[in-house]
A and B are shown apart, each in its own frame.
Chain A
C-alpha cells in the first residue's frame, strides 16, 4: 500500500510534465493542424542553453528564464523561417520537415556540446517527505506541480479571458473570416508556435533533472509519452492533454515500480495502440474531423 501511494504521487509528478509537453503539442495542433515532431528536440535545445547559462552564472533561475526565452525564440524562428513555407496539401509534409528539424537540432547540439550525458542538478531536493511513514512527495515534485499548474492556469486565462486569446482561437477556427475582421492570422500563428515552444521548454527543464541527464536525444522517449498523452486526451483538447498526461504518468510509474523500468516504453506503445484503435478521437475530443 505504501508503495502504491508513493508510485501514485511519483506518477502524478511525471504526468504533470507530460501534461505540459502534451499541451505544447495541442497548442500547435489547434493553431496549425501540425503535430510538431520537432518539439522534443526544440525543448532539449532550450535546456542546453539553460545548462550553459547556469554554468556561467551559477544561478538555476537565470538558466530557467533563458530556457523559456530560447523556447519563445525557437518557436518564432521555426514558424517564420520553415513551417510557414511548408506545402500543407499533404499532412505528411509538415511531419517530414519537423523530422528534418530534429536531425538538424540534434546534430548541432552534438557538435557544440558533445554526445555525452551531462548531469543536470535539480533546483530543489528530490528526497521525498514522509507523511505517517509513507514517502510521498519531494520538494521538486511540488515545484513541478506549481510550475505546470501555473502554466495551465495562465493558458486558460489567456485563451478564455483575453482579446489576444480570442483572436488566436478565431484565427485557428476560421482564418478567412478572422482576416476579414482584421485579425493578423499569421501573427497569431507565430504567437501560438512561440507559446507552445516555451511551454515545451518548461517541460524539458522539469523532466531532464529526473532522467539520466542532458543528451541531444534525451527527449525522444518523453516526446512519445507526451504524444500518447495528447492522443489519449484528443489532439484538439487542452483539458484532454492535461488528463492524458496524468494518465500516462501514472501508467509509467506503476509499470516502472511494479514490473520493471525497461518495460515502460512498451507500455506507452501499447496504450497508444489501444487508444488509437479503440477511441481514435481521444477521450475528450470535440473534433469530428477524423473518421476511421
Chain B
C-alpha cells in the first residue's frame, strides 16, 4: 500500500528489490557484468596517468565498503555508522601483519578475518537494536577509534599511526597500476560474492526481515541469525576496504578514519539508491570525484579553509536534498516493530 503511494509520489520507479529471484536472475547475468567491468578497469589502467590510476584504485577500495554497507542497510534495514571503525580495524590489521610477516595475501586475509570477528561482536549487539538505538551504538563505535589507538599506543602508535611495509610490485608494473589492479580485483570479487549472496536464499531472508520481522519469523526465518550474518558479511567487506586503504596510503592513522568517513559512506549508499549494488558504484565514484572537484575549486578560489570543508557542505546538502526529494531508497525500509505508532 505505502509502496504504491511512494512510487506515484516520487515518479521514478522504486528499484524492485522484492522481485522474485527467478525474474531478477533473468535480468542481468552477474558474471558478464563483472568480466566486462574487469576488462574496462584493465583498459583504463593502461590509458590513465599515474595519479588517475591512484584515484581509480581509491574508487575500487570505496566500492568494497559501499557494496557491503548497501546490502546491510538497504536489504537488511540496519543502519551502521560504524563502518569507518571497521575499516580502521582492517587497515590496522593489515599494517601490523605486513610489518611482521611481509606477506601481502596473508595480511589481506588476516585483515578480513579480524574485521569479520569484530563485526560479529557488533552484529550480535546490533541484532537486538533498532532504528536510532542502533545508529547511536554504531556512532559510538566510530568515535572510539582514536581512543583505542591512544590507549594501546604501544601497538597502534596513537595519533601518528603506523607505516605499512610493502614489497615492490611484481615485474615492471608501475605502483599506481598495481594498486588499481589489486583494489579492483578486491572490489569485483566482493561485488560478485554479494550479488550471488543477495540473489540466493540469504538475500530473500534479509529482505523479508527488513520488511516485516514478525512475518519473517512466521515464515520460519531465523531473524536474529539473518541480521548478525548480514552485519558479518558487511563487516568483512569493510575490512577488505580498510586493508586496501592501508595498502594504498602505505600508512594508517586514526585521522584517516574519522566520523565523517562513516557519514560519507552512508551518504554514498543513500544517493546511489539503497540496496542497489550499482548504486554502491555511483556512491564510490562520488566519494572520489566530489572531494577532488571541491579541492580544485578551493585551490582556484585560493582559500585554504574551503579545502575539505567545501566537500563536507556539498555532501551534506546532497544527502539532505536526496532524502527530502526522493526518499524512495530509504522509504522502502519499514521498521514495523519499533515505530508502529507514527506521529
Contacts and interface: CB of A to CB of B under 8 A. Distances in A.
Nearest to B150: A262
A96 B309 contact: no
B316 A276 contact: no
Contacts of B303: 111
Contacts of B148: 266
A106 B136 contact: no
Contacts of B340: 289
A99 to B, nearest CB: 5
Given A91-B338, A227-B136, A86 B324 contact: yes
A24 B146 CA distance: 27
Given A101-B316, A103-B260, A90 B333 contact: yes
A90 to B, nearest CB: 5
B128 A99 contact: no
Given A220-B143, A228-B140, A107 B309 contact: yes
Interface string A192-235: 00000000000000000000000001001100100110010001
Contacts of A104: 312-313, 316-317, 320
Interface residues of A, number: 61
Interface in A68-113: 82, 85-97, 99-108, 110-112
Interface string A15-46: 00000000000000000111101000000000
Most buried by B among A35, A110, A175: A110
A276 B125 contact: yes
A100 B310 contact: no
A12 to B, nearest CB: 23
Contacts of B308: 110, 115
A107 B320 CA distance: 14
A123 interface: no
B305 interface: yes
B96 interface: no
A228 B136 CA distance: 8
A94 B319 CA distance: 12
Contact of A231 (B81, B136, B263, B267): B136
B144 A292 contact: no
A273 B122 CA distance: 10
Most buried by B among A37, A89, A172: A89
Nearest to A41: B316
A103 B259 contact: no
Contacts of B250: none
B90 interface: no
B225 interface: no
Nearest to B258: A217
Contact of B136 (A35, A263, A265, A290): A35
A86 B325 CA distance: 9
Given A107-B309, A263-B151, A269 B140 contact: yes
Contacts of B77: 92
B309 A273 contact: no
A33 B341 CA distance: 10
B319 A276 contact: no
A92 B333 contact: yes
Contacts of B129: 276, 280, 292
B313 A111 contact: yes
A106 to B, nearest CB: 6
Contacts of A220: 143, 259
Contacts of B316: 100-107
Contacts of B266: 96, 99
Interface of B: 2, 73, 77, 79, 81, 125, 128-133, 135-137, 139-141, 143-144, 146-148, 150-151, 258-260, 263, 266-267, 270, 303-306, 308-320, 323-324, 327, 330-331, 333-335, 337-343
18 contacts: A87-B331, A89-B331, A90-B334, A90-B339, A93-B330, A95-B131, A96-B330, A102-B263, A105-B316, A106-B309, A217-B259, A220-B143, A224-B136, A268-B140, A276-B125, A277-B128, A289-B340, A290-B133
